[in-house]
A and B are shown apart, each in its own frame.
Chain A
Amino acid sequence: QLQLQESGPGLVKPSETLSLTCTVSGGSISNFYWTWIRQPPGKGLEWIGYISHTGSTNYNPSLESRVSISVDTSKNQFSLYLSSVTAADTAVYYCATWVPNWFDPWGQGTLVIVSS
């Protein structure tokens, strides 16, 4: 069964780029769609975007100017890049599988704090 695990720095300075990687195990990344979702502390969920194994992407317009998602099928990984971060980007970032038409499974999440 599919398992996802996020990795990356837990602290990012304001104006810098947040970079996270999600490693997929228990199955091939050459199926489904691969997504990022975030959750500010004590708040609700926000879909960030998705990528397919062929590299086609779709991003939330609220973040589109700053976000990029890439995939590395050879490593069964996909990555999130969010530029020009501010304190408002502090959140738990989840990677998840979009099995049309639901998110399942999810990674455990990783907290990223934006602070100098």
Chain B
Amino acid sequence: DIQMTQSPSSLSASVGDRVTITCQASQDISNCLNWYQQKPGKPPKLLIYDASNLKTGVPSRFSGSESGTDFTFTISSLQPEDIATYYCQQYDHLPWTFGQGTKVEIK
């Protein structure tokens, strides 16, 4: 299985801060990576697909990028409604696997 190592596991930032989450794949997955947002008691929601493409309707403060097997998810200006857990997910190889999640809180 491809292991997705996501970091940090949690972070606390102030409103307006730039927030960065990383996901490292255990082997090459090309750009086959998605990012999801999960709020408490709710299902995950797709934010970014194919590493860097923003789903229609998702605020532009969310973005994604890739460099080899390292993937970065960024919130350019953290908003109160962004409090959630974020997951990366690879689909280059079955079984599809997720990162462990990053819980984002407001400082």
Task: Please list the residues of chain A having a beta carbon within 8 angstroms of any beta carbon in chain B.
Answer: 44-47, 58, 60-62, 94, 96, 101-104, 106-109
- Could you tell me if A45 and B46 are in contact, using CB atoms closer than 8 angstroms? no
Which single member of A46, A94, A103, A109 contacts B34 (CB below 8 Å)?
Answer: A103
Instruction: Classify chain B's interface size.
Output: 20 to 34
- Nearest CB of B to A40, in Å: 12
When chains A and B are docked, how far (Å) is the Cα of A44 from the Cα of B96? 13
Q: Quick check: is B73 within 8 A (CB to CB) of the other chain?
A: no
Contacts A102-B34, A102-B91, A103-B34 given; indicate if A44 touches B99 (C-beta within 8 A): yes
- Nearest CB of B to A114, in Å: 21
Closest residue of chain A to B55 (Cβ to Cβ) is A104
- Could you tell me if A62 and B95 are in contact, using CB atoms closer than 8 angstroms? yes
- Nearest CB of B to A70, in Å: 19
- Could you tell me if A102 and B46 are in contact, using CB atoms closer than 8 angstroms? yes
